[in-house]
Amino acid sequence: MNSKYNFQYFQGSSLSDLFAQDITDASYGFILNYPATASWAAYPNVEKYFIQDGSSEATKTSFDKICQKEPWKILAVLGDRILGIAINPPPKSLLAYWQEHFGFSYSNRLMMDRLTYLDDLSHSERFDKLITLFPFDRLKKEKHAIDSDTHYRLLSKVTLAELGVQCPKYESYNLHTYSLEDIELPQFPYLIKTSHGLSGEGTYIIKSLSDLNYCLEEINKYLDIKLLDKIIVSEFIKNQVQNYCVQFYVNKVGEITLIGTTSQLVTPEGSYLGGLIDYRNTDMSKFFEMIAAIGQYAHKQGYFGVIGFDVLEDQDGQFYVIDANFRVNGSTPLCLQRHTLLGLGKEVAKYSSDYRMEGTLDSILVTLKPELDRKDLIVLSALEKVKYGKIYTEIYAIVTGENIQEMQHIEQKLQYKGLQWLEISLR
């Protein structure tokens, strides 16, 4: 371990146990969904806190992802010490499975009307402060647990150079000041990123003129619908050998608790699919300097909560922080399984948001019961869909094993039973 720092792993398994130390001064709730800008959103973030979640109605992040699958995944590991707020209840069979396998009561949850929830929360005497993944335009500023302007700035790609860690060279541009035609672009390859892209949206890897033309079309669409102020043009890190997400919690007095480090699973286009973790053999000390710098910066800004930062390692052993997410991250629930799985002798696990299986959720829970009982498979979220008259279920899940070979063997067995997933690459 890095002797300069004495960072310790979190010993619990729920988000509310992490936050417990910081929520005794007021009445807190946790809004489990992101804001959205699609036509279905009753409270679109189109005034101040822009989020790039699709440049046209056809490409907007879907209702089921933002309001069902993603919030339920967080609810699965939220625990009972903070109230989780959602606008769609999870399926009863999923809730029963969680109660049996995670051991929380899930009584501390509040389902609200999606047409009125932000107005109701803004005027609620029940909640003094609300933890969010992203600031909401239509939630009163004083109700945000983290100052909403500060949180928005922390979540911006433009802020990366302020964190005190090595990152790719980049320039930021305010598109109200600069026209796209006047921006000097480097030689291929490079990246262009919008300031607040959701789940890989707004990140463009530019390797050719056709890549650039597509990117500029997308940015112009965002400008046309007035959902974008700033972009960055970043160098492309070549010869990368690993892509990590390093996660920790910083409390209100600036103390740091380690959550875990995953190797990220992404599509060739850079869209996030999940993470792979080795609970026993991951040495987080190589990230301690970065953790300390980012934690100190966040604390000075008044932030408390989960932080996950993405790190590329190149073939020369250099680390570059390419993104920092001041919120619960996609693979945070995977990291929180550390003590449970190590207690079962399971040292390796993989989270994916892209599993699916034919049949209803109830039938799947019966078919996969042996694997679920052994925690070979852990279901975080599940939603039934219908296509061509056939029911199938989309699943966010974790596959586990004593080592990577056993985990892959278990995944093959699950595949024989009908569990399917998109082919993914580790980079």
**pLDDT tier at 272 (50, 70, 90 boundaries)?**
low
d(CA 112, CA 8): 37
Q: What is the pLDDT of residue 423?
A: 56
Please report which residue ranges of 47-91 form alpha helices under DSSP H.
63-64, 70-76
Task: Judge whether residue 365 has pLDDT over 50.
Answer: yes
What does the pLDDT average to over 200-210?
A: 95
Q: What is the pLDDT of residue 269?
A: 67
Residue 253 is which amino acid? V
For the segment 384-394, what is each residue's pLDDT rounded down to a tens digit? 999 999 999 99
Task: Judge whether residue 98 has pLDDT over 70.
Answer: yes
Task: Judge whether residue 3 has pLDDT over 80.
Answer: no
Q: What is the pLDDT of residue 204?
A: 96
**pLDDT tier at 415 (50, 70, 90 boundaries)?**
very high
Share of the chain above pLDDT 70, in %: 96
d(CA 139, CA 251): 24
Q: What is the pLDDT of residue 200?
A: 86
For the segment 8-37, what is each residue's pLDDT rounded down to a tens digit? 999 999 999 999 999 999 999 999 999 999
Least confident of 261-265, 306-310, 315-319: 261-265
State the DSSP string of 311-375: EEEETTS-EEEEEEE-S--TTHHHHTTHHHHHHTT--EEEEEEEEEEES-HHHHHHHTHHHHHTT
Q: What is the pLDDT of residue 265?
A: 77
Q: What is the pLDDT of residue 266?
A: 72
For the segment 315-330, what is each residue's pLDDT rounded down to a tens digit? 999 999 999 999 999 9
Do residues 313 and 252 touch, judged by C-beta distance below 8 A? no
Share of the chain above pLDDT 90, in %: 94
pTM: 0.96
Q: What is the pLDDT of residue 1?
A: 45
Q: What is the mean pLDDT of the chain?
A: 95
User: What is the number of alpha carbons within 13 Å of residue 182 lying toward its C-beta?
Assistant: 7
Do residues 288 and 5 touch, judged by C-beta distance below 8 A? yes
Task: Judge whether residue 424 has pLDDT over 80.
Answer: no
What does the pLDDT average to over 181-189?
A: 96
Q: What is the pLDDT of residue 270?
A: 66
d(CA 144, CA 178): 32
Task: Judge whether residue 114 has pLDDT over 70.
Answer: yes
Residue 417 is which amino acid? K
Q: What is the pLDDT of residue 239?
A: 95
**pLDDT tier at 427 (50, 70, 90 boundaries)?**
very low
